[in-house]
Each structure stands twice: as structure tokens, then as C-alpha cells.
Structure 1
């Protein structure tokens, strides 16, 4: 096949980098990418009707001691896979991690620090529910080392919050935002649009209010109906497609035009406020996930693997404490033909894309192996012809699923 001249500079850079860097065995990497730690806290006060995450209604008494013991066993079992590697960021996700007491959160971080080397001043994120009881714990979390709070606000209208099945009201949300901004320098607010019966003016008003808070990061999502949720069984009436498109345009008017950069499909940040754990994830970096249902992606010289833990919290605790790997329900090597799609599925979500040489560094595959889909994506105007970066064009970002699918195994 004739080589497309547009990717020759990329391939020449690829050849130079391979001459200068140590070669990696097929299916692995010469040096592992950055590593972050994800800790899953599975309990919620109530399961929201739109939620398809691994969350479970909290029992009468939160089993914090048992959870900590099992989490310790889970991490210790994983240590051989990450031995000597430094953790760049920590992310507590859920569920509702802010259900944990300050003492338990502190004990978890002490346990992690005693077993894994953390970088200097790592970003430690904790997802929180805006309910007043959890919000009042913020100072204790900060004292333990949490440096970033991600608040699941979702809406600032009582009727909309009720329709979403949230346990907090708008006044609690506003109180939690104020308290978070007083306590932490890094605060993310989750907000959804396309809510049942939501109007365009209501969405604009919500963004204008959010803009007034001293937060540096926003996660703005369209409500989607996921399988196996209550909303899938009883679909709410959402705005029509034209209104949804207008709602996305309003984000540009009210957020992007006022100092937030849309650096990822659903993420908006002021300068220096990007989420470090998520940035590593989107760049195809490594992450170790512990806790029920947590996922990991780990790189070695001879392979790159994905793992998943037992989803049920009680079963996970029982299995983790056996210390026999029975808490691992999935442990598989990423096949070479699947690597390009896995890489692009993440990297192309970033507005700036990634440096071209990151593909080989993080997959162990030379860039020339994907010259055919690269050519096709550029021919269709979906991928930039910049030889130094793999980055979607504006058209590619609008049709991201189409662009990503070009890198499926059958298209290599």
C-alpha cells in the first residue's frame, strides 16, 4: 500500500524514538506509564433511578471497620503488580465516599501511604453528596490529606432534584458548595442537563448560578437512560433533540466564554484545575482500582492487563479477606489487535489529544501499524494532520463515536 505523505513525519518520529528508547516485548511496554489509585466506596443512602454505577443502599450500620480490613487485604494482594511504582493521584469514587467518617477516611489514607509511595502533594479526590451531614465533614477530610472534592450537585432546582431521586434539596446543595469552596482549593461540581421537563431557560439559569461559585472544575453531563436502571423501565419525559442541542450550545455561552476550558467531552476547567486522575485515565495511563467492582489497567514489559473486582460489597469483603485472589472476577491481557481502539477510546476524548509518540510508549505498538485507520480518519476530516499529535478535529469531536470506531480491530 502506498504510504500517505501526511503521516510520514509521524512515522519518522516513531522510528527515531524506537532507536533511542529500549524496545519492549510484543504486547508490553518498555517503561510503564504514570499510575494512579482508585478506591471504590459502594454505598449510597438511596439508589438514584438513573444510576448504573456499582452502588448499593447502605445497610443499617455502615461496616466501616470491615470495609477497611478488606480494602487493606485487596491492596496488599495487588502490591506485586505495582511494586516500586509511585502513585500520582488518588480518587475515592462511588457510591457516596462522603458517607465514610473522617476517622475511617484518615485510616484508609494512612494505610495507603504505608504500602505505596505517593508523589509529593498528590491530588486526592473524594466524591461527596451535598447532604448537610456529609458536607460538615469536609474539614476532617482536608486534614487527612484530601485536596479535591467532587460534589454530585446534579441540579439546583428542588423539582428537578426530586425527579432525579436525589436525597438533597437545592439549599443543601448551595450550602455544600459554599463549604467546599471555603475548605478546598480544588472543587468539582457535577451538573446534568436534559432532565425531565427541564427547559432551556432553566438550564441557562443553573449555569449562570454555578458560574458565580469559586470552583475551578465543572462536569456537565446530559442525562442518558442506561440499561438496568429504574429510568430504563420507566423513562421520564426529556427535552427533544433540538432543545438538547441548544442546551449544549448554552454551555459554550455561559461556561466556555467565561474562563472554563472544555478539555474533555464532559469536563470544563480553569487553568491548572484539570482532574489529574482522570487526565491519566484518558491518556491511557495505568490505574489500580481497589474496592468492590473496581477496575484496574496495569502495564508490564510483556503485557497490559485489565482487572475487575467482585461487585457485591459483602461478597467482595469476604473474598478479599481470603487473600486468595477470589475477589478478582476478571483478569485478562489486552489483545494486540484491541490496543489501538482501547487507546483511542480514551485519548480522543481530550480536546488537545495526546503527543503522537505516546501511542507507542503506552501501548508498545509502533505507530506504523495503525497507518491505515490514521489515513482514513484524516481523509474523512475527523483527525488532525498535525504529525506531532493525535487529536480530533472539531468535526471529529462532534462525531467522536464514529472516529473512535475507525480504530476497531477490523479496520487495522
Structure 2
């Protein structure tokens, strides 16, 4: 019997106060006032168009990301949440997240986010080291970061702190000091991921020097020991949570669930009744978006795309990948990939059990190598 995947909603707010040199996310630097009222009205129209494709399914989670969503006025955030709830059914007690930066003008709004139903806050700390923050062009210092956490803790039991390791000029001691300080404040979730420099960024063109890979690996090993000792369970490559505080929205992505993506440059994945999966990409040109041209592209993903996208997400998780789930989410029988599984098993990247696959420690470390097997 056909069964739709769970459905989430992602809302993209594209403005930032400054574009960091390492950032490859789509964003606008706000030189003047943000046309937030007009943008939100078009967000609603974009949303209404996508609702025609979801077969009236309930939305289970909402994530407001960017850019820097906390740059918007508190009244705009309220209008956004209430407008979404007015237009479609949202699960009772749904996880509703917003990203924020630890700037004074932004964290004064945390109480207002709580009052309009946002129940999960993600703070982009990156590091507490003021010198390293300057290296990566963040616009705040250690004190502001700590003040933001203190303010957030007043209203949110479900609080994520974003931290990075392998920053330019960062030492092992710096990395562990960041984690120790974060753990002192007892957030429910820590996203701790390796700093990388992507093509088409300012840092890539500047050829910024990063720590040697052996040092970065040592940071990972020592940091994971500290997080585990402190009660944080690793459930995804860069995600660590207290019991029952895994990010439900991201888990839906990684379990190959469906999501509507609205706003400039947002991506979506929506399954149809016949098992067809539609990918949507919204227009990244703000002028075009504000003139009602929301959709940049829409296409049906191929059988090969289904397989690689499924494994790209599922192999990130620290849990078995059940063959029944693979069939259910891709509508493809696992017998068609037997030879690729054999190659991955021979390389020691996965273990093939009768009912599920499990990625080995080697497979997690060489995840790109594992995925290339399914791309070939």
C-alpha cells in the first residue's frame, strides 16, 4: 500500500548583515532596510503554490533558515508563523526552529520567537575565541556569544549551538576549550562540524591556510570523547544531542523525507501518489522573486538520482539503513544494487545484514568514497 513520506517546511530568509568569507550559502548583504513585509507576502504566495503538490499532508516540522532570519523584526517573524499556520495544517507541538546569530540586537527578540510558537533555537556561535572569530569574519566577540546563550536559556529548553573545528590558525586546545565552554551551558544539542572552504567563496580565492589534516583528525577524536563523556550522543556525522533532543527537521531530511522549500533559492522534495519525486528550486534573484517569479526549476528525479540521494542522506546517520525503508522511500528493489553493495562491503565500508546495511567506522570516515560506488 502506498504511503507518503513525512513532510517538513523550510523557509529561507536570504539577508545577512555581512557575507563571511567562507560562506557559500545563498544570501544578500543588507545595505539598506530589508523589504521584509513584501518578501513575506510573496513567501505566502510561494507557499500556496507548493501546497497544490502535497496532497493535503500535515506539515510536521518548520525550519526558518538563511541568511540570518533573526535580522527580521519580531513583528515580521510573528506574521510569518501565523500566516503559515493560517494557510495549512501544522502538526500539534510541531518542532519549529529558527537560526539566529549572537548579536545583541538579535537576541533581544528571543522571547518574542517563543511567544509565537518557535520552540527550537539554533545559535550560530562557530567559536568562542574572539581572535578566531575575527579570522573567519564573524561580527561579534566571545562576550556577545555568551550573553546570547544566557538569554536563549531563559526561554528555550531545546537549544542548539553551532560550533566548528579546523578553523584557520586553530589549535587543539582552542577546539576543546570551545566544546568545554558550550557544554558548561548545557544546550540540548550541539552541531559540531569541520570548517571547510568551498569553491566560489572569498576564502577560496585568498587561499586561506587551514590546520593540517592530522591535527583536524585529532580535534575530531578528542572532541568526540569529550562530547560523549558529557552526555551528548552522536546521531549524525556532525550532530550531537541529549536524549530526545535530536533535530526532527534535519532527521526528516536525512531519512529521505519530503519537504517544501519556500523563499529565494530554497530547495524542495515532494513525493507524488505514483511514487514520483519532484525536486523544486526557487528563484535566487530577489527582484524576480518579488515580482512573483518564484520557481526556478522543477524536475522529476531519475532512478539513479533516487539511489544516490537516498544514500547521501541515510549514510550520514549513526543507525542501521533498513532495506525495507530503502524500498519504501525510493520505490526501488534493493536487488538492483547488489553488485554495488558487494563492492562497498569488499572495501570494508559497509556490512550487509539480511535486513539492513550498516556503515562501518571506515565507511563514515571515507563517506565520499562510499558514495562514489553508487555514483559509478
TM-score after normalising by structure 2: 0.97
Contact in 1 for aligned 2:121/2:159 (Cα 8 Å): yes
> Which 10-residue stretch deviates more, 279-288 or 98-107?
98-107
Question: How far apart in 2 are the matches of 1:383 and 1:267?
Answer: 21
Q: Return the match for 1:94 from 63, 66, 73.
A: 66
Aligned residues: 375
Q: Return the match for 2:49 from 63, 72, 77.
A: 77
Cα distance, 1:356 vs structure 2: 2.1
Question: How far apart in 1 are the matches of 2:232 and 2:238?
Answer: 12
| Matching residue of 2:245 | 273
Alignment of 1:356 with 2:328, yes or no, is: no
Question: How far apart in 2 are the matches of 1:241 and 1:342?
Answer: 27
Contact in 2 for aligned 1:43/1:58 (Cα 8 Å): yes
Question: How far apart in 2 are the matches of 1:301 and 1:380?
Answer: 38
Question: How far apart in 1 are the matches of 2:318 and 2:287?
Answer: 40
Rg (Cα) greater in structure: 1
Question: How far apart in 1 are the matches of 2:320 and 2:239?
Answer: 14
Counterpart mapping for 1:100-179 below 5 A: 100-179=72-151
| Matching residue of 1:241 | 213
Higher relative contact order (CA 8 A, sep 6+): 1
Contact in 1 for aligned 2:63/2:97 (Cα 8 Å): yes
Contact in 2 for aligned 1:194/1:223 (Cα 8 Å): yes
Q: Return the match for 2:309 from 331, 342, 351.
A: 342
| Matching residue of 1:289 | 261
Cα distance, 1:376 vs structure 2: 2.2
Question: How far apart in 2 are the matches of 1:103 and 1:284?
Answer: 34
| CA deviations over 1:31-62 (Å, ceiling 9, x no partner) | 22000000000000000000000111014111
| Matching residue of 2:25 | 53
Runs of at least 5 residues in structure 1 that lack an aligned partner in the other structure: 1-21, 23-29, 321-325
| Matching residue of 1:181 | 153
Cα distance, 1:200 vs structure 2: 1.0
Counterpart mapping for 1:361-380 below 5 A: 361-380=328-347
| Matching residue of 2:284 | 311
Question: How far apart in 1 are the matches of 2:354 and 2:256?
Answer: 20
Cα distance, 1:196 vs structure 2: 1.5
Cα distance, 1:378 vs structure 2: 2.1
Two-structure CA RMSD over aligned residues (Å): 1.2
Cα distance, 1:352 vs structure 2: 0.7
Question: How far apart in 2 are the matches of 1:69 and 1:341?
Answer: 36
Question: How far apart in 2 are the matches of 1:181 and 1:359?
Answer: 39
SS in structure 1 of the partner of residue 374 of structure 2: coil
Alignment of 1:250 with 2:225, yes or no, is: no
Cα distance, 1:389 vs structure 2: 2.6
> Which 10-residue stretch deviates more, 397-406 or 129-138?
397-406
Runs of at least 5 residues in structure 2 that lack an aligned partner in the other structure: none
